[in-house]
Amino acid sequence: MGEYQNVKVSIEDRVGVLTINHPPVNALNTQTVKDIDAAFDEMTANPDVKVIVITGAGQLAFVAGADITELAQLKDKEEAKKVIMEGHRVFCKIEASSKPVIAAINAVALGGGMEISMACHIRIASDRARFGQPEINLGITPGWGGTQRLPRLVGKGRALEILLTGDMINAQEAYRIGLVNKVVPASQVLKQAMNLAKKLASKSALPTAAILKVVREGLEMPLAEALEAEADQFSALVESHDAAEGIKAFLEKRQPKFEDR
């Protein structure tokens, strides 16, 4: 795996772990976003990686947000738009990944930290985690997807309360409103995320990628079109090796041996 300034990467049992490591609070400055982008590309291209886990280093933060020092140096709206669109490009790449991406939210996830977690497919949070979009307290709006992914996850009313107040919510409230999938003890966050990732890695990559694609795209379609897309994905997989193996293994009452083909 490559070497990066503000990101650490490793592979264990076909699970790639991308750890954001920009002390003290893993703020998303230009270099960190660049490193996340490159490391994610590396894992996506690596055939030995079937699932990706994104987490933060240390105990203070998953990601405490964008680097405010850098924001203060933006000269005009054109420069600001460039920074925002680069973040969108990277976060949308994560969201569109054909490999499942799990956020292991070890601590505070604010602003850009909450936004990158929402771009992941599944979120597991520490019981000490806190979430928020505090941009309004700085006189600005969220810029890396907060106003769009949050209402899609938790509904318009709850999203607007979080966005308009800038207040933080705890992990239990995040679970209650559907922002995270699971809350676990702080010492167990990465372990639980890895256990889930290894379970997902044991499945065939073909239906995994198909499910990720049709769910993501289908949510933006009328129901009739989405059902047609689902039928297309199902039909395309029927002739695959793994479909034949999975069905045969079920009938023979044994575990399937998938080959991702």
Cα–Cα nearest to 182, from 243, 104, 69, 74:
104
User: How many angstroms separate the CA atoms of 243 and 261, rounded?
Assistant: 9
Across the chain, the runs of DSSP E, i.e. the strands, are 7-12, 15-20, 51-56, 61-63, 101-105, 108-110, 122-126, 130-132, 169-170, 182-184
Told to judge if 135 belongs to the known catalytic residues of this protein, a careful annotator would answer: yes
Q: Which amino acid belongs to residue 62?
A: F
pLDDT value at residue 108: 97
Told to judge if 115 belongs to the known catalytic residues of this protein, a careful annotator would answer: yes
| Segments of the chain with pLDDT less than 50 | none
54 - beta bridge partners?
Answer: 18, 103
Instruction: For residue 212, give both structure tokens.
Output: 């990720």
At the fourth CATH level, the homologous superfamily of domain 7-201 is 2-enoyl-CoA Hydratase; Chain A, domain 1 (3.90.226.10)
DSSP state of 54: E
The distance in angstroms from the start CA to the end CA of the chain is 25
Q: Are 19 and 55 in contact (CB under 8 A)?
A: yes
pLDDT value at residue 225: 97
Instruction: For residue 45, give both structure tokens.
Output: 């291209």
Exposure of 41 in the CB half-sphere (CA atoms within 13 A): 10
The pLDDT tens digits of the residues spanning 20-57 come to: 999 999 999 999 999 999 999 999 999 999 999 999 99
The pLDDT tens digits of the residues spanning 121-147 come to: 999 999 999 999 999 999 999 999 999
Q: Which of 79, 115, 161, 252 is catalytic?
A: 115
User: How many angstroms separate the CA atoms of 92 and 230, rounded?
Assistant: 22
Return the domain boundaries, the chain.
7-201, 205-251
pLDDT value at residue 75: 84
DSSP state of 41: H
3-state secondary structure of 125: strand
Q: Which of 3, 70, 135, 259 is catalytic?
A: 135
